[in-house]
Amino acid sequence: MACTNPFTSVDEPAILGPGTLDMALPLVDALRLHPGMRVLEVGGGTGQVATILAKAWDVTVFTLEPWHGGEDIQARAAAVGVTDRVVALTSRAQDLPFAADTFDGVLSINSFEMIGDERPAALAEMVRVVRPGARVGIAEPMCLPAPIPPEIAELDERGRLRFQQCFRTVAWNRDLFTRAGLLVTQACYFPEARPWWLAYEAQATQPGREVECELIRRDEGRWLSLGLVVGEKPVAHTAAPTRWGVVGPRSTNYSYAFVRAADGLLPPVARSSAASTYESAAAARRENSKGGHIPVTCEADAVSNKGRSPIVSALQMRPRRTQPLSYGDSARSEHRRATTGIPA
């Protein structure tokens, strides 16, 4: 990375919250992003953060913008030449249309707090879609651990700003992250929060924002702040491997193959044909050869099989010439799970 901060060196800030561009670099650093990664942003706004990330970090960014839609974001991405690395969606963080373990990082600036009471559900989704070992981070308005001054509460209610519903302390967010299964790596207030709030207030000149501006000025740093919380998805959080049980004709000549793949990329199947098992394994291997992280182990038991079954040779596995398997053990129980849809 260059030494200059690509977020704060933009000519025309296009932000919808206090300190968006100031908080971006500390957050991105805490997420340990590097080129080629696939990143999810919750709350894209104008798309400025997503396009800077795509251009300066050479990552692919999927960004959620349920309020305004993605047209402006895609236009901005096209204008800076990163159309192929920015994808805007109108999805909400509570219902992410992605498989588990899809992203190398999830970030949200001045947006996660907007989700209000649905934050636990949204965070559960964010944790689900990030891969084990990768990080989820937020940087946003957080209140100090002090009672809200009465006149600030009154302005909040008068302006229907919902600050009291949305802003929580760093400790509250840290606890939320921990309860979502993340190992918190960083949790702090930004010491520059007050000047960043005031800079935001100074550019909020549109009619109708007078009460908000008055609240920011009169708070004087007693309750309003900005904070950052980052957590890592533990490697042990990996979803239990999904097993595909493949059952050949249950006569004299049949075979079983079990393909274990990380939950998510490949669809769980209750009943699978030999072909789809082969395809599952091959797809996972293809993905891994491109740098994927799908642990695939294959086991095959050829039972009463005269030589290598087509599945076994297709998977390039050495068949274990086992004794016929007992019930409850390996292949037959897998067969039962496979045919009943009970996951292993």
Q: Which spans of this chain sit near ligand SAM (rule: CB under 6 A)? A: 15-17, 20, 42-45, 64-67, 92-94, 109-111, 114-115
Provide the minimum distance between the beta carbon of 327 and ligand SAM in the complex, in angstroms, as a whole number. 48
Provide the minimum distance between the beta carbon of 199 and ligand SAM in the complex, in angstroms, as a whole number. 13
246 — phi, psi (to 5°)?
A: -115, 130
Provide the minimum distance between the beta carbon of 148 and ligand SAM in the complex, in angstroms, as a whole number. 20
In 3-state terms the chain splits into helix, strand, coil percentages (rounded to 5) of 40, 20, 40
| DSSP H helices in 94-149 | 119-129
Provide the minimum distance between the beta carbon of 110 and ligand SAM in the complex, in angstroms, as a whole number. 4
- Distance CA(45)–CA(17), nearest Å, equals 9
Residue nearest to ligand SAM (CB): 45
- Tally of CA atoms within 13 A in the half-sphere of 46 that contains its CB: 13
Return the CA Rg of the chain: 25
**CB of 59 closer than 8 Å to CB of 38:** yes
Closest CB to ligand SAM among residues 67, 171: 67
Provide the minimum distance between the beta carbon of 251 and ligand SAM in the complex, in angstroms, as a whole number. 53
Token duo for residue 34: 């590097």
- Distance CA(256)–CA(324), nearest Å, equals 12
**CB of 108 closer than 8 Å to CB of 138:** yes
Mapped onto helix, strand or coil, the DSSP state of residue 342 is: coil
Question: 244 has which bridge partners?
Answer: 259
Closest CB to ligand SAM among residues 44, 319: 44
Closest CB to ligand SAM among residues 115, 274: 115
Provide the minimum distance between the beta carbon of 40 and ligand SAM in the complex, in angstroms, as a whole number. 10
Provide the minimum distance between the beta carbon of 179 and ligand SAM in the complex, in angstroms, as a whole number. 19
Closest CB to ligand SAM among residues 68, 293: 68
Closest CB to ligand SAM among residues 47, 231: 47
Closest CB to ligand SAM among residues 91, 185: 91
Nearest residue to 294 (alpha-carbon basis) of 303, 284, 302, 286? 284
Provide the minimum distance between the beta carbon of 76 and ligand SAM in the complex, in angstroms, as a whole number. 12
Closest CB to ligand SAM among residues 206, 323: 206
Question: 186 has which bridge partners?
Answer: 230
Question: 42 has which bridge partners?
Answer: 64, 108
Closest CB to ligand SAM among residues 65, 232: 65
The DSSP call for residue 5 is -
